Amino acid sequence: MHDNDKSPGSPLQTLLEVPANVALRIESASQSVRELGYYALLGLRVGGFARVLAKHPEQQPRFIELELENERISLPAGLAGQIRVSPVCAS
User: What's the domain count of the chain?
Assistant: 1
- Span 55-77, pLDDT tens digits: 999 889 999 999 998 889 999 99
pTM across the whole model: 0.81
Q: Could you write out the three-class secondary structure of 2-62?
A: CCCCCCCCCCCEECCCCCCCCEEEEEEECHHHHCCHHHHHHCCCCCCEEEEEEEECCCCCC
Q: Which of 52, 46, 47 is nearest to 75 (CA)?
A: 52
Task: Evaluate whether residue 6 is within a structural domain.
Answer: no
Task: Evaluate whether residue 75 is within a structural domain.
Answer: yes
Backbone region of residue 40 per phi and psi (left: phi > 0; alpha: psi in -120 to 50; beta: other values): alpha
Task: Evaluate whether residue 37 is within a structural domain.
Answer: yes
> What type of residue sits at position 65?
E
Residue 51: domain span:
13-87
Task: Evaluate whether residue 2 is within a structural domain.
Answer: no
Task: Evaluate whether residue 71 is within a structural domain.
Answer: yes
Task: Evaluate whether residue 36 is within a structural domain.
Answer: yes
- Span 1-56, pLDDT tens digits: 344 444 444 579 999 999 999 999 999 999 988 888 888 888 899 999 999 999 99
The CATH code of the domain that includes 78 is: 2.30.30.90
Start-to-end CA distance of the chain, whole Å, equals 30
